[in-house]
Structure 1
Amino acid sequence: MKNTFISAAILSLLFISCKEDFNPLGEYSERYSLNCVIKVDTSFQVATVTQSYLGQTTDPFENTQDPFVDFVYIRMWYKGEVYIFNDSSITRTDKSRYNTDIKFYYINNLNPQPGNDLEIEALLPNGRRLKSVTRIPARASKKYGSFENKIPPEIGDIMHLQWTSDETNLVYHPRLYIIYNKTENGVQYRKSVPVPLEYYKKGGEEIPIYPNPSATPYVNIKMETINKLMKSISDGDEEKRHYEFMYCILEVITYDKNLSLYNSSSNTVLDDYSIKLDETDYTNITGGFGVFGSLVKSTFIIKFNTPYLESFGYRNGFE
């Protein structure tokens, strides 16, 4: 579980190239990138430091030397305390490009809270320093009167889920999940399935479309989409009573101003707490490149209406 989390947290690398008329590879310029995204829901925080390289061809993916920088001294300040990062690695499963382990720096004793500042500094072996600051964003909260508390809604056929925040100009990434239990061979298993915004028809296949990060503080999902997903969960199984539905969970991940600016400049989806820096030169790192930011996750419970579940033959396990 830890390895999966770490792998998701390792940041993609920044590649830099330049052109000159007489040399398609350009002149080598030594640059460094510090990447770190602080998460409030864990004490395990990860950072990476990488360097640019001089490729042998115009294809950057032909480089097989890991650009990770070893022996970097990374410190973080939070509420007057100093936290020192350790170095570690995990086995690389995809060795199509690099044969070395995935390296990273980490601390495992920091649980920062919203509204507080964090400062990071990376001292490289050559004496260069990379610095940055972030303020942890406020948690999103329900906007009462604009947040459906049960499925289906009392009025209309759209689930309108709106939240609010004490801060402005931030980016949010909402994700809705259905939580249910399924009995198999007398054993009950807890399962979850993400809810798409809609389905896109491509040929004879229906492709689910999920919410992307945006500055819009709400998400609308048609009951037609939810109904289709609810039905598909037990397709081909005549034992509908083996399905006990609990509730839906809406997760809203709030990006700090640094990650919000990054998202706006790159128009790129951050996959589960990671960040990719090969599409933009956006940086908030003094002395180099990269991103230092923070995010916080808010969770809201949405119940099912019992008659609605019974219309599919399901049971309600959270009345």
Structure 2
Amino acid sequence: MIKKIYLSATLLAAVLIISGCDDAFAPKTPFVPEYVVYGIIKGDSLTQTLLLAKTYDVNGTNPGFNTESPEIAGATVKIRRKNTTVTMRDTLLERTDTSRYKAPIKAYYSLGFVPSYGDTLHLEITTPDGKTLNSRTIVPPSLYLEKSFYNIGGDRDDNLAGSFTLTWRIQSGFLFLPRMQIIYMKDGDPKQRIVEVPYYYTRINNQDQAVYPFLSSNPYAQFRYDAIDSALVSISRGDPAKNTYRILRANFRVITLDEHFAKYYSSTNGYLDALSVRLDEVVYSNITGGRGVFGSYMLTQETFVFNQEYVESFGYRAR
């Protein structure tokens, strides 16, 4: 009986080895070249850039053997908005990581093209070998921000939530990246200085760790007052001359990613819900005739003042 089981196991192993020679189980499938596009239209810039690359094959199974950069120059790249068409030009960008590719990055750019909220932008690329790639994005809106109090610190002791909160109303499908900075000066130095404000602090290994704003689908930004307190304290840490510091304002900004950029980011960085696990997730693409993403984002900025008594409680001067 034991001998029969052993023989059965041997036959099964042999079948698996033979099956492994079948094309369906080959470690390297037949190569089909594809074009890949990465273009994000920036709502806060006069300069737009786009990358076009082509997948490549190598001898063997190690893609690291390829030393020729995959970016493609010489294509015709057009962006159409209503009755206006912008043709992007070839350019070279600095390559910060030269461990694999040494030459500058081949890219495409345009100057003076500024998108507006609600614009439908059509992308059309004709590659050097005559292939056509298409895509589309709708530029997301600027946000109307609602704040929990008209200044920062005025409700420090009466705020039940213990936070300075900014909210915005917008349809679903977007991702948001907030950021808040405190702008201040020190007597004798004409230069304005900046300190970043975290959302809150968490305790890790008996040490307080700052948690800064991150990309999410939440239509709000909530800064705990104890985190704002800590940011203000850090401004003059180690300097007893507190009254030589002047707190000018807080700058808040939030970047809104359009539907395609948001889906692409989610597919390459995992689901936004930290408790979700997906094993069948594929990289999102909205490029017809190829792969990649053509998306857009919009920047919203606003300035907030600090409550004078709140600032003076740290020994500083307000504005």
Range into which the TM-score falls when normalised by the shorter chain: 0.7 to 0.9
Taking the aligned partners of 1:148 and 1:295, their CA distance within structure 2 comes to: 28
Task: Return the match for 1:134 from 116, 127, 137.
Answer: 137
| Number of the residue aligned with 1:99 | 102
- Answer whether contact 1:148 1:302 (CA < 8 A) is retained: no
| Residues 1:81 and 2:84 aligned together | yes
Amino acid at match of 1:96: S
| Residues 1:45 and 2:40 aligned together | no
3-state SS of 2:69 partner: coil
| Residues 1:152 and 2:156 aligned together | no
| Number of the residue aligned with 2:313 | 311
How high is the TM-score relative to the length of structure 2?
0.82
Taking the aligned partners of 1:268 and 1:223, their CA distance within structure 2 comes to: 30
Q: How many residue pairs were aligned?
A: 285
Alpha-carbon offset, residue 188 of structure 1: 1.8
| Residues 1:177 and 2:177 aligned together | no
- Answer whether contact 1:25 1:56 (CA < 8 A) is retained: no
Taking the aligned partners of 1:239 and 1:58, their CA distance within structure 2 comes to: 63
| Number of the residue aligned with 1:26 | 29
- Answer whether contact 1:25 1:55 (CA < 8 A) is retained: no
How high is the TM-score relative to the length of structure 1?
0.82
TM-superposition CA deviations, 1:157-207 (whole Å, max 9, x none): 211211123x43322221111111234xx3221122221112234436533
| Residues 1:164 and 2:164 aligned together | no
3-state SS of 1:232 partner: helix
Alignment root-mean-square deviation, CA? 2.3
Unpaired segments ≥5 residues, structure 2? 1-21, 272-280
Residues 291 and 220 (structure 1), Cα distance of their counterparts in 2 relative to 1, 3 Å cut: same
**Bigger fraction of residues in strand:** 1
Taking the aligned partners of 2:132 and 2:195, their CA distance within structure 1 comes to: 44
Taking the aligned partners of 2:221 and 2:96, their CA distance within structure 1 comes to: 36
Residues 152 and 82 (structure 1), Cα distance of their counterparts in 2 relative to 1, 3 Å cut: same
Task: Return the match for 1:227 from 226, 229, 237.
Answer: 229
- Answer whether contact 1:87 1:106 (CA < 8 A) is retained: yes
| Residues 1:299 and 2:277 aligned together | no
Whichever of the two has the greater Rg, that structure is 2
TM-superposition CA deviations, 1:269-290 (whole Å, max 9, x none): 9xxxxxxxxx942100100001
| Number of the residue aligned with 1:35 | 38
Identity %: 32
Q: Which stretch of the first structure deviates more once superposed, 233-242 or 22-31?
A: 22-31
Residues 78 and 240 (structure 1), Cα distance of their counterparts in 2 relative to 1, 3 Å cut: same
